[in-house]
Amino acid sequence: MKKFLKILIPILLIIIAVVIWWRYYFVFGEGVKAGNLNFVVKKGYIFKTWEGKIIQEGFKTPLPNQMQSNEFEFSIIDDSLAKALERHSGSFVELRYKEYFHSLPWRGNSKFVVTEILRVEDVNWNKTLPY
């Protein structure tokens, strides 16, 4: 029985470690999203994390004959990246992100984590108005 437990316990610990890594640290996807930066805010009770939202052009409709805005909510790990985005609220931005299966409290509320700012364009509202 002792020999069985000496083999079983390390195998179970390895399986648990692989499952935790797969659920929380494995990068499921990477990509780029673009849109108007709505806000970037630092919030949290114990773990203060940077959270943001992009409003993308177009509409996402889960069912026919419905209308819903297309929003992309994300978290930011790097403080300097978050502070740079904070200064460009309302601007058109392109962001590179990583997608995880689940979020972690110290990584943010979202499973999408922004890793890089690709482009920032200030919106000139005077040119877009019809009058």
CA distance 131 to 127: 9
Banded model confidence at residue 4, pLDDT cuts 50, 70, 90: confident
Residue 37 within a domain:
yes
The alpha carbon torsion through 128, 85, 87, 69 (nearest 10 deg) reads 40
Structurally, the chain folds into a number of domains equal to: 1
Per-residue pLDDT tens digits for 73-131: 999 999 999 999 999 988 999 999 999 999 999 999 999 999 999 999 886 655 555 55
Amino acid at position 68, single letter = Q
Residue 52 within a domain:
yes
For residue 73, the enclosing domain spans 28-128
pLDDT at residue 54 greater than cutoff 60: yes
